[in-house]
């Protein structure tokens, strides 16, 4: 396990009988060179003591949200920023429920909500609790947020029952976390470019043609790529969104500007075109504000199709070119047509006639149409755009590797 060396792990222990196994997990992290800070929930302290954890981890143990000592030394926001990853093991039904609802009534749940890092959960609970529809719904929701799961396993439980709900072995947890960092290292070398948002095509100095794109889908894709180690450039039309500093953000307004910014930022390994680029621009923009008049005929001319241009670039075509298709009808047929016409590798279609997904929603449901794969299409079910983006990026990583 070479990839844990110097990695900062924020380890959260919740109150369950398998909390005793967390000592072995900490020992393995430590043995392999990781730096560890631990958060114990109140009920976890009934199973393991801060003293035993400090002795093993040689790192500080935190548990009180309102501790003056902790807040002056490292407040809950700094704690979430400090970590390279947050691992929660065991993750109890109670903590899983709190994270799914966004409840912040203790240090662990507050730190997780305040964090922009990846979160790995190793659930542990009685089989009936694990199989309860509430837990299933909470887990589905967390997966949608991009949380990763290790286990739970099937086996004999401390309560005497048998079934699914047993926490994975500490060695499995340590190996999975090691694998996470290995993937991150492998992805580091890849460069990604994402286009997002609408474009504004000016008629005169104050009027323009645009569309309903908010940029949310593209921004979430850029965040997922960056989180997984891609060197990421985001070329964005006008939006109200913000993005983390690790992403190279280039703001543009028109399709022409988006084309130039794209050209200037090639070559990359993967390019994703999620922007809703205006198909047309005004043939000759009016220099002054147009006066009121009975009729106004506008001459439109076609914008360059950036996706088509990049897909057909001789020397700088990215290894993977991905387009989006915003469709209202005959979605599969139209998406497949676009896949061929635009010469890209994947087209990701979304049904924008459904107002709960697509334009401006925080949620989406998409189908990936593949050009050169045995499986021709794959549906990613309704979830937050952040979760959809994580799933798309997982597939990009598989493809590039
Ligand atoms: O921004 P959000 O509010 O989060 O909404 C997300 C979204 C619905 C905008 C997004 O998921 C989406 O579907 N984006 C593509 C929208 C679109 O304009 O599709 P299209 O079918 O018109 O274009 C097909 C593809 O060609 C797209 O990848 C587009 O970026 C690209 N294109 C189109 C025209 C052009 N001149 N240049 C391009 O690169």
Q: What is the pLDDT of residues 80-127, one digit of tens each?
A: 889 999 999 999 999 999 999 999 999 999 999 999 899 999 999 999
Same domain, 316 and 354: yes
Question: Can you read off the two tokens belonging to residue 258?
Answer: 């988006």
| Ligand 1 centroid from CA 397, angstroms | 22
Express each pLDDT in 201-241 by its tens digit: 999 999 999 999 999 999 999 999 998 889 999 999 999 99
Same domain, 297 and 172: no
> For ligand 1, atom 1, which residue shows the shortest CA distance?
215
Domain containing 240 — which CATH number?
A: 3.40.50.10300
Same domain, 231 and 363: yes
Residue 56 has pLDDT above 70, yes or no: yes
Residue 51 has pLDDT above 80, yes or no: yes
The residues assigned a catalytic role are 159
Same domain, 102 and 192: no
Question: Can you read off the two tokens belonging to residue 235?
Answer: 């070329």
Helix (H) or strand (E) holding 391: helix 385-400
Mean pLDDT of 35-62: 94
Same domain, 213 and 328: yes
Mean pLDDT of 47-53: 94
Largest Cα separation within the chain, whole Å, is 83
Same domain, 193 and 255: yes
Domain containing 141 — which CATH number?
A: 3.40.50.1950
Cβ of residue 221 lying under 6 Å from some atom of ligand 1: no
Residue 275 lies in domain: 188-400
Number of structural domains, the chain?
A: 2
Same domain, 24 and 169: yes
Same domain, 193 and 178: no
Cβ of residue 12 lying under 6 Å from some atom of ligand 1: no
Same domain, 210 and 192: yes
Cβ of residue 360 lying under 6 Å from some atom of ligand 1: yes
Q: Can you give the pLDDT at residue 69?
A: 60
- Ligand 1 nearest atom to the CA of residue 364, by list position: 11
Among 122, 157, 185, identify where a domain stops: 185
| Ligand 1 centroid from CA 365, angstroms | 15
Q: How far apart are the C-alpha atoms of 230 and 246, rounded to whole Å?
A: 10
Same domain, 93 and 155: yes
- Of 277, 359, 391, the residue with max ligand 1 atoms within 8 A of its CB, to mutate for a pocket test, comes to 277
Question: Can you read off the two tokens belonging to residue 252?
Answer: 């543009």
Same domain, 181 and 192: no
- Percent helix, percent strand, percent coil in the chain, to nearest 5: 35, 25, 35
Picking from 61, 28, 56, 58, the residue whose alpha carbon sits closest to that of residue 45 is: 61
- Of 215, 237, 255, 275, the residue with max ligand 1 atoms within 8 A of its CB, to mutate for a pocket test, comes to 275
| Ligand 1 centroid from CA 321, angstroms | 14
Cα-atom radius of gyration of the chain, to the nearest Å? Answer: 24
Express each pLDDT in 344-376 by its tens digit: 999 999 999 988 888 999 999 999 999 988 889
- Ligand 1 nearest atom to the CA of residue 352, by list position: 8
Same domain, 181 and 292: no
C-beta of residue 220 within 8 angstroms of C-beta of residue 388:
yes
Q: What is the 3-state secondary structure (H, E, C) of 281-339?
A: EECCCCCCCCCCCCCCCCCEEECCCHHHHHHCCCCCCCCEEEEEEEECCCHHHHHHHHH
Cβ of residue 359 lying under 6 Å from some atom of ligand 1: yes
Q: Can you give the pLDDT at residue 143?
A: 87
Which class for 209: exposed (0-12), middle (13-18), buried (19 or more C-beta within 10 A)? Answer: middle
| Ligand 1 centroid from CA 350, angstroms | 10
| Ligand 1 centroid from CA 326, angstroms | 6
User: For the whole model, what pTM was predicted?
Assistant: 0.66
Among 136, 170, 185, identify where a domain stops: 185
Express each pLDDT in 271-327 by its tens digit: 999 999 999 999 999 999 999 999 999 999 999 999 999 999 988 999 999 999 999
Q: Can you give the pLDDT at residue 74?
A: 64
Look-up: residue for tokens 């993005």? Answer: 243
Q: Can you give the pLDDT at residue 314?
A: 86
């Amino acid at each position: 396990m070479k990839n844990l060396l110097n990695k900062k792990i924020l380890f959260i222990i919740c109150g369950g009988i398998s909390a005793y196994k967390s000592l072995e997990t900490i020992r393995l992290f430590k043995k392999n060179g990781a730096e560890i800070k631990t958060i114990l929930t109140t009920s976890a302290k009934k199973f393991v003591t801060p003293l035993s954890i400090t002795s093993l981890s040689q790192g500080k143990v935190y548990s009180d949200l309102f501790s003056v000592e902790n807040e002056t030394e490292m407040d809950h926001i700094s704690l979430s920023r400090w970590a390279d990853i947050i691992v929660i093991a065991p993750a109890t039904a109670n903590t899983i429920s709190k994270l799914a609802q966004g409840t912040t009534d203790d240090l662990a749940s507050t730190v997780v909500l305040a964090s922009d890092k990846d979160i790995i959960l190793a659930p542990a609970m009685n089989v009936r609790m694990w199989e309860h529809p509430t837990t299933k719904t909470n887990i589905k929701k967390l997966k949608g947020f991009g949380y990763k799961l290790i286990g739970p396993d099937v086996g004999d439980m401390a309560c005497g029952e048998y079934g699914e709900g047993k926490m994975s072995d500490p060695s499995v947890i340590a190996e999975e976390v090691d694998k996470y960092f290995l993937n991150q290292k492998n992805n580091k070398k890849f460069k990604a470019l994402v286009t997002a948002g609408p474009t504004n095509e000016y008629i005169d100095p104050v009027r323009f043609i645009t569309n309903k794109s908010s940029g949310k889908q593209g921004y979430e894709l850029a965040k997922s790529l960056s989180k997984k180690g891609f060197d990421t450039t985001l070329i964005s039309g006008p939006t109200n969104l913000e993005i983390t500093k690790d992403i190279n953000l280039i703001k543009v307004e028109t399709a022409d500007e988006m084309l130039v910014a794209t050209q200037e930022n090639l070559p990359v390994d993967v390019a994703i075109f999620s922007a809703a680029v205006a198909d047309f621009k005004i043939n000759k923009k009016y220099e002054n504000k147009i006066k009121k008049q009975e009729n106004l005929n506008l001459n439109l001319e076609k914008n360059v199709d950036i996706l088509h241009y990049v897909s057909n670039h001789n020397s700088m075509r990215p290894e993977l070119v991905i387009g989006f298709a915003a469709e209202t009808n005959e979605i599969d047929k139209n998406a497949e047509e676009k896949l061929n016409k635009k010469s890209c590798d994947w087209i990701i279609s979304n049904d924008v006639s459904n107002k709960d997904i697509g334009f401006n929603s925080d949620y989406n449901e998409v189908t990936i149409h593949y050009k050169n794969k045995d499986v021709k299409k794959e549906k990613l079910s309704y979830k937050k755009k952040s979760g959809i983006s994580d799933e798309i990026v997982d597939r990009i990583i598989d493809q590039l590797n």
